[in-house]
Amino acid sequence: MSRDEAVSRRSQQDRRTDAERRLLEAAAELIGEIGPSRVTLANIGERAGYSRGLATHHFGSKAALMQRLVDTVTERFREAVLAQTRSESAMDQLRGLVHTYFTIAAALPPLHRARLVLWADAVATASPDVRPAMVSADRLFRDEVAKGVEHSVATGEFPASVDAHGLATVIVAMLRGVALESMLHEDIDLDACRAEIEHLLLSRLGHPELPRGARN
């Protein structure tokens, strides 16, 4: 392969990568605005600034695009959480998870708004384009939280009476529930909600209470 051919191939791949990124971002924006059921490959292409048929060219079907979008928003979320929750203390890791989740909920960029809307849609409908991917992503997140709790129970950092999967389910439900509530009511105090969840966790896991005014 000549140097010019190699440069051309890289350029084509760069254009393809950029187009797919813009199409996924457009899909996330539209899902947050009108919901997944009204999103089409055609209006995604238009929102991204391309032809109506480009999304079909890149992804083939709405189901394939939705699967890629779920994978993307899940990975972005995991990256954000993991970047902020590294700690030797299991309790600090949980507090870091809560803090990061609510930081994301406060800003709620399009990809993360789409994640919440897709989850709500998966609960409300049996859409083959959305539900299977969201069920898988939801289980992965819950299992990761449970794995950390389970390890902390085994090492004695958390009480032996803690049911790891039960607690993980409750944690995920609290975080997501507050985030969804804040999408409906802009006046919700996410800092106060975060602090209350931290106090509940500290109480259940046998750690001293934080001062009521703690917001770190």
All domains of the chain in start order, with CATH: 1-60 (1.10.10), 62-216 (1.10.357.10)
Going from the C-alpha of 164 to that of each of 19, 114, 160, 195, 207, the distances in angstroms are 42, 28, 10, 21, 17
**DSSP 8-class letter at 125:** -
Predicted TM-score (pTM) of this structure: 0.81
Reported as a pLDDT band with limits 50, 70 and 90, residue 209 is: very low
Count of CB atoms situated within 10 Å of the CB of 12: 10
For the stretch 15-74, pLDDT in tens is 889 999 999 999 999 999 999 989 999 999 999 999 888 999 999 998 899 889 988 988
Q: And the tokens for 82?
A: 């993991």
**Picking from 76-80, 122-126, 132-136, which range would have the lowest pLDDT averaged per residue?**
76-80
> Cβ distance 20 to 58 under 8 Å?
yes
pLDDT in the model for residue 189: 96
Q: And the tokens for 196?
A: 């209350």
